[in-house]
Structure 1
Amino acid sequence: MAMSEEELRERESWTTIQKENYTIQTILKACIMHKWNISVSFSGGKDSQVLLDMTAWMWKKSEEEHGKKPLNVVFSNTSNEFAKMELFVKEYCDLMERKHDIKIRLYVVRGEKTYYEVVKDIGYPVVSKTTCRKVRDIRKWIKKEKIKWEDISDKLDNGIESANLLRKLGASNTVVLYLTGIRKDNTEGATQSRLPKKWRPLIIADFEVSEECCTILKKIPQKRIQNDIGSIAIIGEMAEESQNRRSKYKKTGCFVTSGKKIMVKPMGFWLEKNVLEYIKKYDLPTFFVYGKLVEENGELRFTGEQRTGCKLCLFGIQFDTERLKRLKQIEPQTYKFAVKPVEEGGLGYRKVIEYINKKCGCNVWIDEEEP
């Protein structure tokens, strides 16, 4: 159900116990609606840990209704997790079985490509999914129409005049919008619809960028197993995590239905602080890279990584500028592989980071190249 920004903010202001109760009721509603054919998407990260704990509690309380069926849990091994994540996932599922006295059926799924192959064949996940998509579409048009970037790069900021120029050169309405901010009807689009000037150098970079890694490595394998076992997905995605997710959640609420695609986002209105409060309240063990959960000035935080996710992902690297430095400390061999040139069998991250630092004004940490 769609909601306004004010309605979402109201939900976000609820206490953690209020959110816990509402989320459990939402999960229960989804289970009843779909005859208990659900699967929890579990990454091993803190958000999905909280989701699984609540779902497991509800599952036990409802065992008469579902006949003590095992609870389906799906973990995507993307080849981009920290080294011991899959082991932690299995151990946490074992803990949930003992704690709630239920059975869990854990599915470990993998994509048809590894992360290395996705980067090599399709492109780097850098800056953001939205930026990568815009750059990719623009580059496709330039290649198709054999456009020389230097012929148009200084002619993109004159509004409708720029839009008309690009149209004459065969640009689609989408590409025109990305480069000039002008819509098909010659009105100005929203600010976020235009590719920021800061990232225009990515259009002519000598490496490809792509937003498709998550779809290939996680979404497609999860959807495949959910189709195989006939379940709908329960995911721990929160609106707070990005503007894109916030916009989507306001349009759908907790229940997402689009054609045959059905998923439930029962934690969409949770905030980071609620997740940490829940973990502390129920003393949930967390993956080692988070460090310890401590309280400072009345607020909870982890002493290590604030997120696990994909260890080699470069989305948001312009803000989290020391991510690779921490990776080097946690998994030095992985870091070494990441910065090694592609022609030497590595991922070629050094070239990418040095390019966005020099051409896009970023200040991302990378160590000095070894002689």
Structure 2
Amino acid sequence: MRANTMAISLLRERQAWPLEQKIDHTVGAIDAFLAYCREHDRNPYVSFSGGLNSTVLLHLARRVFGADLKGVFCSTGNEFPEIVRFVRQTPNVEIIHPALTPRQVIEQYGFPLVSKEQARAVRDIRTTASEKLRSYRLHGDGARRPGVLAARWRYLVDEPYMTSEKCCEILKKRPFRHYNTTTKSLAMVGTLAGESKLRQSQYIRRGGCNVFDADLRKVHSAPLSIWTGADCWEYIRRYAVPYCEIYDVEGIERTGCVFCGFGAQFNNGRFRVLYNRYPKLYCMAMNYTNNGYTLRHALRRMGVTLPDEQRELF
């Protein structure tokens, strides 16, 4: 049965809890998820990205429920090398792969720019056959505004290259869905509600960390949802949890695909670190193309100053 939508005030209250209370809440969410998996003959695992949040979730779940709980990592081919090394050094983690390479996804579907919500709006406006949906993405409906394309990004509708959020779907979500089906498995993910407005709204709509449904494809478990990034760091310090060394590099707060343009208008630290540490990988990513135009060109059009184009100031 699906959970009921909650008030945002309840989420705010939970996010203000001390870490010990959040740990207890998370342990309860994991326990309920594991019980659901046993009831429905499914194999539980942690979707392990090698990032900070999933590192905390995997450690906590194994600390309480046993070291045999599996982690599963989807290697897209566009992770920082430090992430791949850290994943390979972590015991009992299975590695899966997407059907397409990042270059193929970009060529076929477009660049991930601005944010998932705004990229989805651009794609809908440019490809939908529904005039109603197109109108909503451009103007809203008078009462609601979520998912409406911001005026700042309207130019993307007319660009010769495509903008799309589909890379996450194809490089990560599809491989995990295939894995779940073929191995009769269900995942816990390490996402936090406070990471974005989209994840906040999803948590509120779902009504909590877990959503259980007779349709197993709709089951969702994010036991760390009410945590903050500061909570994750406090947990890591408290329990001396090993984490990926890339987080000790200035400019890196979150990992993920090295070519990702989501949020680049606010912080291009990922590109700067990539350019300084792995210039060949940086050049490869900047030269991904859609309709003959490079990612470099698309980021420039967003107003992003790339690290190899910055002039030193004296």
* TM-score, normalized by the shorter chain, greater than 0.5: yes
Gaps of 5+ in 2: none
**Is residue 54 of structure 1 aligned with residue 56 of structure 2?**
no
The one of the two structures with greater contact order (alpha-carbon pairs below 8 A, sep at least 6) is 2
1:307 to 254, 267, 270: 254
Equivalent position amino acid for 1:271 in 2: T
Alignment of 1:174-213 (within 5 A): 174-181=133-140, 183=141, 188-213=142-167
**Is residue 136 of structure 1 aligned with residue 123 of structure 2?**
yes
Matches of 1:320 and 1:347, distance apart in 2: 22
Change (3 A) 1:193 1:220: closer
| Percent identity (aligned) | 32
Q: CA deviation at 1:287?
A: 1.3
**Corresponding position of 2:270:** 323
**Corresponding position of 1:353:** 299
Q: CA deviation at 1:193?
A: 3.6
Change (3 A) 1:347 1:74: farther
Change (3 A) 1:108 1:28: same
Change (3 A) 1:236 1:347: farther
Equivalent position amino acid for 1:255 in 2: N
Matches of 2:269 and 2:309, distance apart in 1: 14
Change (3 A) 1:311 1:135: same
Matches of 2:287 and 2:152, distance apart in 1: 26
2:56–2:232 Cα contact (<8 Å) kept: yes
The TM-score, its normalising length taken from structure 2, stands at 0.89
2:100–2:170 Cα contact (<8 Å) kept: yes
Change (3 A) 1:215 1:342: closer
1:338–1:347 Cα contact (<8 Å) kept: no
Change (3 A) 1:139 1:255: same
Aligned length: 300
Alignment of 1:92-171 (within 5 A): 92-93=90-91, 104=92, 106-141=93-128
Q: CA deviation at 1:138?
A: 1.3
Q: CA deviation at 1:79?
A: 1.2
**Corresponding position of 2:209:** 254
**Corresponding position of 1:22:** 25
Gaps of 5+ in 1: 61-67, 94-103, 145-170, 293-302, 358-362
**Is residue 278 of structure 1 aligned with residue 247 of structure 2?**
no
Matches of 2:221 and 2:58, distance apart in 1: 13
1:234 to 185, 188, 192: 188
Equivalent position amino acid for 1:134 in 2: A
Matches of 1:38 and 1:179, distance apart in 2: 41
1:46–1:286 Cα contact (<8 Å) kept: yes
2:44–2:70 Cα contact (<8 Å) kept: yes
SS in 1 for 2:33: helix
Q: CA deviation at 1:28?
A: 1.4
